[in-house]
C-alpha cells in the first residue's frame, strides 16, 4: 500500500481487477510491487506515475479520492484493461465509499429503523442482505484461508467487491468491517510500521462475526448489525469547553492529521478533528492548522491548552463537534489539569475507568502515576510506572520515527519526578498496559506535553541526562491462553496450512485443560482438525479445503480468546467487564 497514491473506493478496485484476463491476474501482485517502487508526483487532485520512459499512469481524485474507474488512466497499449490500472487501485489506500456529506453542514440522522416483523420487510431485500452477508463471509474466509502471506491483490479485490455489495444491500457495518480487513492485509504485506497482527485478527473476527449473525438477527440486534452509513450530528446547544490534549492520527489506510480532545464542566469529552489523506508530515502539520469550528483562529495545538465557547453546537454520537454553518465558536480561557473542571477527570479510580472502557465506553485513561524507569521490550523501550500500587506499562502510541513519541517517552522515563498526571489509551491484555498520549511537563505541573506532537528537550529534565533502560520487563509465567491465542494469530499471518502443519501437538490442548481452560482446549483441537481436514478424490488428488468450516472454527477460537483476555485485563486493573458481547476498545481514536 502506497500512501503517495490517493485513496480508491472499493468498487473501483473490484471493477478494475475483475476486468483483467486470467493471465494478467496471475501477474497482479508483481505489478503492484513494481508500481509502488515508481515515484508519484501530485499536482492538485491529480497524481501521475511514470510507469516507464514512455508511459504515464494518471489518477484523478477530485475531493481527495478516486471514485470512478475512468479516473485512473494509463497510456500503455493494453489500456484500458491493462495491469497498470488494476495495480494502482490495488496499491492505493481504500477510500470510504459512504457519502461524506458537506463538511460545513451537520449530517442529518439516518431514517430510524424499526424492528422487523413477519411480512414487514420486502422478501427480496431480505434475500439480498443474506446474499451479501454470505458473499462477505466467503471472501473473508478465503483471505483467512490464505493468510496475509497468500492474500494477494485478487483476493483483496474479491473482498472489496463483497464489501461494495454489502453497502448496496444496506449493510454499512459489514461493508466497513470488510474494508478494514483489506486495509490490514495490505499493511501486513507492505511492511507498514503501523501494522499490528492483533488488529488484523480483530478485524477478521469482526467481519466474520457480523456476517455469521446477520442472517439470523431480528429486532434491535439486526438494526445494530446493519449499522449506519453516516454519523448523525445532533444539536447540543451552547458548550463551554476546556482543552485537554492533542494527538496525531496516522493510520494504515493512508490518512493522517490531528485530533484535539476537550471536556466540558461535567467531564464529558468532545473532539475536534482534522484528518485527510496524507502521511507523517500531515500528522504534525495538522496540529498547527486552525480548527474548523465557527470563526475561531485557534490551532489544534493552541486549543489543547486553551478553551472554546460554542453556540449552536452539533455533536456526533462519538463526541465529535460538527462544523455546520450555524455553529459559532470563540476562543476562551483554558485551565490546568489540576484545576477545576478538568481535575475531576483524574478523580475517577483507574479500575472504574478501565471498566467503562471494557464495557464500550471511552478508552482514554486519566491516571496519576509515579515513573519507575524505562524497561526493555522487544518492540522498544517502555515506561514502567506505579499507579496507586499497581504497576502499569506505558508504551508509545506511534512508532513512526518522524513523530517524537518514542524519544519523549525515554526522556519522561528519565525525568525522575514524583507524581505525574498522564492521559493514556487502554491496551487490553493480562498486564496493565496503556499507550501514553499526554503528560504533565517534567519541570512544570501547570504545563503539559502532547507526546505525539511536542518534543521534549534534554534541558527539560532536572539533571539534563538520559539514562539507558536499567531493567528488562519480567517475563513471568506464560499464560496458558497464549497457546490458543498464538494459533489464532498464526492462522491470520500464515493461513490454514500453517495450522495443518502444526496440528501434531496434542499436548497443547491437554495443557489448557489442566489449567482449567477446558473450552480453550476443545477449541484448539477443533481448530487444528478443521485446518487438517482435506479430502481426496478417487484419483488421490486433494479436493479444495472447506474454508467455511475452518472459518467457523477460527472465529469461535478468536471470540473466546477475546472474551477471556478482556476478563484478564479487567482482573489486572481490578475492574469489571461484561461477557463476550461487550465491545473491545478501539485501537485508534474515533474521529
The DSSP code sequence of 139-201 is HHHHHHHHHHHH--HHHHHHHHHHHHHHHHTT-HHHHHHHHHHHHHHHHHHHT-TT--HHHHH
> What is the DSSP pairing of strand 380-387 with strand 364-377?
antiparallel
Mean pLDDT on 1-23: 87
Mean pLDDT on 470-492: 74
Mean pLDDT on 425-445: 90
- What value, to the nearest 5°, has the Cα angle with vertex 37 and ends 36 and 40? 70
Max CA separation in the chain (angstroms): 80
Rounded distance, CA 232 to CA 115, Å? Answer: 20
- What value, to the nearest 5°, has the Cα angle with vertex 584 and ends 91 and 138? 50
Rounded distance, CA 478 to CA 520, Å? Answer: 15
The predicted pLDDT at position 107 comes to 34
Please compute Rg for the chain using Cα positions: 25
pLDDT reading at 543 higher than 80? no
Q: Where does the pLDDT of residue 586 fall: very low under 50, low under 70, confident under 90, or very high at 90 and above?
A: very low
Rounded distance, CA 13 to CA 89, Å? Answer: 5
pLDDT reading at 116 higher than 50? no
pLDDT reading at 117 higher than 50? no
Mean pLDDT on 75-80: 88
Rounded distance, CA 256 to CA 172, Å? Answer: 23
- What value, to the nearest 5°, has the Cα angle with vertex 312 and ends 310 and 313? 60
The predicted pLDDT at position 374 comes to 84
- Nearest in space to 327 (alpha carbons), one of 317, 318, 314: 314
Q: How confident is the model over 235-287, as pLDDT tens digits?
A: 888 999 999 999 998 876 667 889 999 999 999 999 998 888 778 888 889 89
SS (H, E, C) 10-30: HHHHHHHHHCCCHHHHCCHHH
Place of cell 514502567: 384
Average pLDDT of the chain, as a whole number: 84
The predicted pLDDT at position 109 comes to 30
Q: What percent of the chain has pLDDT over 70?
A: 86
Q: Where does the pLDDT of residue 379 fall: very low under 50, low under 70, confident under 90, or very high at 90 and above?
A: low
The H or E element that residue 382 is part of is strand 380-387
pLDDT reading at 51 higher than 50? yes
pLDDT reading at 476 higher than 70? no
Strand ranges, E, within 1-104: 40-43, 46-50, 56-60, 72-74
Q: How confident is the model over 225-237, as pLDDT tens digits?
A: 998 876 667 888 8
The predicted pLDDT at position 154 comes to 96
pLDDT reading at 538 higher than 80? no
Amino acid at each position: 500500500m502506497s500512501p503517495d497514491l490517493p485513496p480508491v473506493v472499493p468498487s473501483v478496485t473490484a471493477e478494475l481487477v475483475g476486468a483483467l484476463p486470467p493471465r494478467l491476474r496471475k501477474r497482479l501482485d508483481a505489478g503492484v510491487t513494481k508500481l509502488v517502487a515508481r515515484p508519484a508526483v501530485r499536482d492538485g487532485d491529480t497524481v501521475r506515475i511514470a510507469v516507464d520512459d514512455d508511459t504515464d499512469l494518471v489518477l484523478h481524485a477530485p475531493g481527495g479520492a478516486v471514485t470512478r474507474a475512468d479516473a485512473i488512466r494509463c497510456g500503455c497499449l493494453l489500456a484500458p484493461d491493462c495491469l497498470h490500472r488494476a495495480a494502482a487501485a490495488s496499491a492505493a489506500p481504500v477510500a470510504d465509499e459512504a457519502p461524506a456529506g458537506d463538511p460545513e453542514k451537520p449530517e442529518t440522522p439516518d431514517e430510524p429503523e424499526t424492528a422487523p416483523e413477519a411480512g414487514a420487510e420486502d422478501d427480496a431485500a431480505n434475500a439480498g442482505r443474506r446474499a451479501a452477508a454470505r458473499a462477505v463471509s466467503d471472501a473473508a474466509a478465503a483471505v483467512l484461508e490464505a493468510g496475509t502471506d497468500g492474500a494477494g491483490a485478487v483476493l483483496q479485490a474479491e473482498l472489496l467487491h463483497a464489501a461494495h455489495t454489502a453497502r448496496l444491500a444496506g449493510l454499512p457495518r459489514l461493508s466497513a468491517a470488510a474494508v478494514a480487513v483489506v486495509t490490514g492485509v495490505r499493511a501486513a504485506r507492505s511492511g507498514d510500521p503501523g501494522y499490528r497482527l492483533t488488529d488484523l485478527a480483530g478485524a477478521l473476527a469482526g467481519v466474520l462475526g457480523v456476517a455469521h449473525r446477520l442472517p439470523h438477527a431480528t429486532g434491535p440486534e439486526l438494526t445494530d448489525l446493519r449499522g449506519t452509513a453516516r454519523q448523525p450530528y445532533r444539536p447540543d446547544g451552547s458548550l463551554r469547553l476546556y482543552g485537554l490534549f492533542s494527538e496525531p492520527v496516522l493510520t494504515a489506510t493512508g490518512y493522517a492529521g490531528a485530533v484535539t480532545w476537550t471536556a466540558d464542566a461535567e467531564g464529558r469529552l468532545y473532539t475536534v478533528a482534522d484528518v485527510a489523506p496524507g502521511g507523517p508530515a500531515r500528522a504534525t502539520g495538522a496540529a498547527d492548522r486552525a480548527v474548523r469550528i465557527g470563526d475561531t483562529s485557534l490551532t489544534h495545538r493552541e486549543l489543547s491548552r486553551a478553551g472554546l465557547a460554542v453556540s449552536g453546537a452539533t455533536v456526533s454520537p462519538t463526541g465529535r463537534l460538527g462544523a455546520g454553518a450555524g455553529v459559532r465558536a470563540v476562543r476562551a480561557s483554558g485551565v490546568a489539569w489540576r484545576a477545576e473542571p478538568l481535575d475531576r477527570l483524574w478523580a475517577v479510580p483507574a479500575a472504574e475507568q478501565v471498566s467503562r472502557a471494557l464495557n464500550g465506553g471511552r478508552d482514554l485513561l486519566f491516571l496519576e502515576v509515579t515513573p519507575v524507569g524505562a524497561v526493555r521490550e522487544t518492540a522498544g523501550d517502555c515506561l514502567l510506572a506505579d499507579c496507586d500500587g499497581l504497576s502499569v506499562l506505558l508504551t508509545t502510541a506511534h512508532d513512526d520515527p518522524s513523530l517524537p513519541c518514542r524519544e519523549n517517552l525515554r526522556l519522561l522515563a528519565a525525568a525522575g519526578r514524583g507524581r505525574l498526571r498522564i492521559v493514556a489509551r487502554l491496551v487490553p491484555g493480562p498486564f496493565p498496559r496503556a499507550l501514553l498520549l499526554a503528560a504533565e511537563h517534567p519541570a512544570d505541573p501547570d504545563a503539559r506535553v502532547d507526546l505525539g506532537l511536542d518534543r521534549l528537550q534534554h534541558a527539560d529534565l532536572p539533571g539534563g541526562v538520559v539514562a539507558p533502560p536499567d531493567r528488562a520487563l519480567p517475563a513471568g509465567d506464560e499464560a496458558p491462553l497464549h497457546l490458543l491465542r498464538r494459533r489464532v494469530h498464526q492462522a491470520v499471518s500464515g493461513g490454514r496450512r500453517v495450522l495443518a502443519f502444526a496440528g501434531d501437538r496434542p499436548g497443547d490442548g491437554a495443557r489448557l485443560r489442566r489449567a482449567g481452560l477446558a473450552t480453550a482446549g476443545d477449541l484448539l483441537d477443533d481448530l487444528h482438525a478443521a485446518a487438517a481436514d482435506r479430502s481426496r478424490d478417487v484419483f488421490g488428488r486433494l479436493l479444495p479445503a472447506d474454508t467455511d468450516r475452518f472459518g467457523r472454527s477460527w472465529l469461535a477460537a478468536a471470540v473466546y480468546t477475546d472474551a477471556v483476555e478482556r476478563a484478564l485485563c479487567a482482573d489486572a486493573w481490578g475492574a469489571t467487564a461484561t461477557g463476550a458481547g461487550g465491545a473491545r476498545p478501539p485501537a485508534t481514536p474515533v474521529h
